Amino acid sequence: MIAPTPFFSHLGTHNRILEEARALKRLGHKIMIVTYHNGNDISNFIETDIDVRRIRRWLFWYKKTEAGPDWQKVLLNIFLIVKSFNMICTWKPDIIHSHLHEGILIGRFMQILFFWRRIPVVSDFHGSLVGEMRSHGYLGMPPFGTIFRALEKWINGMGDAAVVSGEENVAVIEDARDDGKATYLYDGVNVSEYEGECDKSKLRKKYGIVSDRFVVVYTGALIENKGIRHILESIPFVIKNNKNIHFVIGGFPDKWVRKYVAKRGIEKNVTIISPLNYFMLAEVNRLADVAIDPKDGTVRQASGKLLQYMAADVGIICADRTTNHKYLSDNSAQFLKAVDAHSITEAIEKFYIDRELLNTCAKNAREDVGKFDWINIGKKLEGVYKQLMQKV
């Protein structure tokens, strides 16, 4: 696997890379992940023999782990090309599984360099390259937008097989490919981590939350394109009439969130957990009554956090988008027609008032989540591998 990112950093993209690898490992495959110099060692959190190889720490000052573009990644990806070349020479993989557009470009380059080996490349698309960059404030000046749209479309056509995490992106990828095919490989969840009795009072005490509060949770990256600002803007309106509602915001980077909360004077009703360890995610989600995913379809990404919420047996509020409806039935969540502070406020208050609706939605979502266990996603990915190996 080629992962042009600071793996592992407790973010959605990293979670998907890790869980695909773990699922494949359980199915008997040997996995090597080639990645940047920075990021956490997964062996600090779980027992695994997944082989993670890092580029040399030439850019020793580069410590950024949050999501988003950075021009220094051009240099990091050059080093990643060298590392990928060395590992393919020594490890002799059967398949190159490339994550993200940069990784797919590197994977295609490796395939050309080792042409006599006829190594199949699987392109794993986590979203839109241009959509992601624009959501972070890049490509505002022409002609950069035009150039990167052309680059994205070119990369979308690479690889011997394509897997896509977000349904909104499937047609886009299919349209760019000669074979017109892309496999919708939705995100998953380790359902077993959410099994067993849950003492919400005990969990809330651990995080300094009064046990009888009505708790609303968001867990994920604290960046603009995830919709977190809409949640923050809704808090003053929610607690104006409902002082018993408490918000838990888990993720990073948290500095701007803490400043926002302090400026609005809402600290008593907000708990910020940062950084949020991915392997503690189940615990944090289970202390909630309601969980929110305000991400819209702009960057055409899937929503792994939604599956975590489904497994946590909580009421769910999310954007009304195609990918979310693939996970949730109509009576398993409140779907926001407009993702803004007003709509989020109304949805929270509706769950707060109507506990029967909340319990019904939570129950239905929990019943739906079993088919999204990561092992099932791993089997589907394994099927893609087998088809490619038959052609070699």
Spatial distance between the Cα atoms of 115 and 96, rounded to a whole number of angstroms: 13
- Identity (one letter) of the amino acid at 127? G
Check pLDDT > 70 for residue 301.
no
Q: Residue length, the chain?
A: 392
Check pLDDT > 80 for residue 64.
yes
pLDDT of amino acid 224? 83
Domain 191-370 has CATH 3.40.50.620: no
Confidence of residue 74 (pLDDT cuts 50, 70, 90): very high
Confidence of residue 69 (pLDDT cuts 50, 70, 90): confident
Helices 341-353 and 228-241, interaxial angle, to 10°?
50
Residues 6+ apart with CB under 8 A from 256: 222
| Four-point Cα dihedral 11, 327, 168, 152, nearest 10 | 30
pLDDT of amino acid 141? 64
Spatial distance between the Cα atoms of 305 and 291, rounded to a whole number of angstroms: 9
Confidence of residue 11 (pLDDT cuts 50, 70, 90): confident
Q: Which whole number is the average pLDDT over 164-176?
A: 90
Spatial distance between the Cα atoms of 392 and 387, rounded to a whole number of angstroms: 9
Q: E-strand spans in the chain? A: 32-35, 51-54, 96-99, 121-125, 161-164, 183-184, 214-219, 245-250, 270-273, 290-293, 315-319, 334-336
pLDDT of amino acid 225? 80
pLDDT of amino acid 326? 87
| Four-point Cα dihedral 10, 84, 107, 324, nearest 10 | -10
pLDDT in tens, 227-271: 999 999 999 999 998 999 999 999 988 999 999 999 999 999 999
pLDDT of amino acid 168? 81
pLDDT in tens, 35-45: 999 999 999 99
Q: Which whole number is the average pLDDT over 320-340?
A: 92
Q: Which CATH architecture has domain 12-188+374-391?
A: 3-Layer(aba) Sandwich (3.40)
The helix/strand count (H/E) of the chain reads as 15, 12
Q: Are 107 and 98 in contact (CB under 8 A)?
A: yes
In what helix (H) or strand (E) does residue 326 lie, and over which residues does it extend?
helix 322-327
Q: Which whole number is the average pLDDT over 275-280?
A: 91
Confidence of residue 304 (pLDDT cuts 50, 70, 90): confident
Least confident of 32-46, 184-198, 205-219: 184-198
pLDDT of amino acid 148? 86
Spatial distance between the Cα atoms of 362 and 333, rounded to a whole number of angstroms: 8
Mean pLDDT over the full length of the chain: 92
| Partners of 291 in beta bridges | 217, 316
Spatial distance between the Cα atoms of 100 and 111, rounded to a whole number of angstroms: 16
Q: Which whole number is the average pLDDT over 304-316?
A: 94
Helix (H, G, I), strand (E, B) or coil at 299: coil
Spatial distance between the Cα atoms of 295 and 339, rounded to a whole number of angstroms: 8
Check pLDDT > 90 for residue 380.
yes
Q: Are 198 and 282 in contact (CB under 8 A)?
A: no
Per cent of the chain over pLDDT 90 is 79
Which of 310, 291, 301, 329 is CA-nearest to residue 370?
310
Check pLDDT > 90 for residue 306.
yes
Check pLDDT > 70 for residue 320.
yes
Joined tokens for residue 89: 């020479």
- Span(s) in the chain for CATH 3.40.50.2000: 12-188+374-391, 191-370
Residues 6+ apart with CB under 8 A from 307: 187, 188, 189, 327, 369, 372
| Partners of 293 in beta bridges | 318
pLDDT of amino acid 144? 77
Number of Cα atoms under 13 Å in the Cβ half of residue 252:
11
pLDDT of amino acid 136? 67
